[in-house]
Amino acid sequence: MPEPTRYLKPEALARLKNLGLAARLVVEGLFAGQHKSPNRGFSIEFAEHRQYTPGIDPRHIDWKVLARRDKYYVKQYEEQTNLRCLLLLDASASMGYRDGGSMTKLEYACFCAASLAYLMQVQHDAFGLITCRERMEHYMPARQGHGHLRMLLERLESLEPRGRTSLPRALHEVAERLGRRALVVVLADLFSTDEGDGAKALIDALSHLRHRKHEVVVLQMLDPSELTFPFGDATQIEDMETNDVITADAEAVRRHYLESLDAYLGAIRSGCLSRGIGYALADTSEPFDRFLGAYLGRRHRLAMSRSA
């Protein structure tokens, strides 16, 4: 294990150590490992038969089929491959918000990202990091190794929340850039400053990744104040990304905000569900390892039930 850093807490990892992050879908990776690959080979799990042709190792001939059909067939197996995971992190100014939470949304996302990268390292999977604001800004390709984990952690520690965000635009860029299929974990508050970036634009961008055969998980980070809007006596509200200030009736704004937020979150949840995209909402007042452990536990149980 690498030396503990700001975002890698041994006590949290101890609570997560038995929860691996296995892909639900068929994922193409870089090395032989524990996850199924779309490629056929001679590995562990039987897939199908195909007719024997000269040059194939005779050890793979199915002699029982030969006895029944008087024809030579060989067994094909599912190759096992590593999971290839990309952690996509929103580092815009809105992620620096903190009111009722124990840390900013960006810090919370970094703790989750660091823990996931460590779990990937433990199970010998490849992992990388993508940071974005208005566009995709930094791309660290998925690799294995302690040195790569150290570089990823150093990158997380250097991040500062700044600038505007257009997550849909960044996601479309990522979808166009990524090649081989991967698990893409999006860690963001899912707020954008572009007027057209509503729930539909976000779901369309996530669907672009799914269309490219990637598995997608969305972990949305929100401060408890963003979930409850406890500002009943406020008369001025400032946008963290644009610095625009509006004066309004606080109670009317609160009602409208909560109604809009409920509709937005509902659209995100239903859109993700209908497209086979994993989704979980994190309240940053909850310990990050508890949130992550609960989500990975649900994911593991779902994977087990589908394979049963």
60-89 per-position pLDDT tens digit: 677 787 778 877 777 665 555 568 999 999
Place of tokens 């150093």: 154
Let me know whether 159 and 226 are in one domain: yes
48 beta partners:
76
Let me know whether 103 and 72 are in one domain: no
Residue 2 lies in a domain: no
Q: Which two tokens stand for residue 124?
A: 């010998």
- Model pTM? 0.79
Position 91 scores a pLDDT of: 96
Of 44-48, 142-146, 258-262, 274-278, the range with the lowest mean pLDDT is 44-48
Between these two residues, 244 and 236, which has the higher pLDDT value? 244
Domain end marker among 48, 66, 81: 81
| Segment 220-237, tens digit of pLDDT | 999 999 999 887 665 666
User: Could you tell me the residue range of the domain that residue 201 belongs to?
Assistant: 10-28+82-307
Quick count: other Cβ atoms within 10 Å of Cβ 133?
A: 22
Let me know whether 277 and 179 are in one domain: yes
Mean pLDDT, the chain, as a whole number?
A: 82
Position 1 scores a pLDDT of: 46
Position 24 scores a pLDDT of: 45
Let me know whether 114 and 150 are in one domain: yes
Between these two residues, 200 and 237, which has the higher pLDDT value? 200
Residue 5 lies in a domain: no
Residue 4 lies in a domain: no
Position 45 scores a pLDDT of: 52
Q: How sure is the predictor about 130, in pLDDT bands with cuts at 50, 70 and 90?
A: very high
Q: Which two tokens stand for residue 165?
A: 């965000």
Let me know whether 16 and 61 are in one domain: no
pLDDT at 269 over 70: yes
Inter-residue contact 120 to 82 (CB < 8 Å): no
Residue 3 lies in a domain: no
Give the chain's length: 308
Let me know whether 236 and 112 are in one domain: yes
| Segment 12-24, tens digit of pLDDT | 888 776 666 654 4
Inter-residue contact 137 to 88 (CB < 8 Å): no
Q: Kindly report the CATH number assigned to the domain that includes residue 152.
A: 3.40.50.410
Of 82-91, 172-181, 187-196, the range with the lowest mean pLDDT is 187-196
Let me know whether 100 and 39 are in one domain: no
Please, what is the angle between helix 288-307 and helix 105-122, to 10°?
50
Mean pLDDT of 179-202: 88
Mean pLDDT of 104-114: 96
Backbone angles phi, psi at 105, to 5 degrees: -65, -35
Backbone angles phi, psi at 201, to 5 degrees: -65, -40
Let me know whether 294 and 221 are in one domain: yes
Position 53 scores a pLDDT of: 65
Between these two residues, 53 and 100, which has the higher pLDDT value? 100
| Segment 202-224, tens digit of pLDDT | 999 999 999 999 999 999 999 99
Let me know whether 252 and 138 are in one domain: yes
Residue 164 lies in a domain: yes
How far out from the chain centre does Cα 183 lie? 7
Residue 130 lies in a domain: yes
Residue 225 lies in a domain: yes
Let me know whether 277 and 211 are in one domain: yes
| Secondary structure of the chain in HEC code, one letter for each residue | CCCCECCECHHHHHHHCCCCCCCCCCCCCCCCCCEEEEEEECCCEEEEEEECCCCCCHHHECHHHHHHHCCCEEEEEEEEECCEEEEEEECCHHHHCCCCCCCCHHHHHHHHHHHHHHHHHHCCCEEEEEEECCCEEEEEEEECCHHHHHHHHHHHHHCCCCCCCCHHHHHHHHHHHCCCCCEEEEEECCCCCCCCCCHHHHHHHHHHHHHCCCEEEEEEEECHHHHHCCCCCCCEEECCCCCCEEECCHHHHHHHHHHHHHHHHHHHHHHHHHCCCEEEEEECCCCHHHHHHHHHHHHHHHHHHHHC
Let me know whether 163 and 273 are in one domain: yes
Residue 155 lies in a domain: yes
Query: What is the total count of domains within the chain?
Result: 2
Let me know whether 74 and 162 are in one domain: no
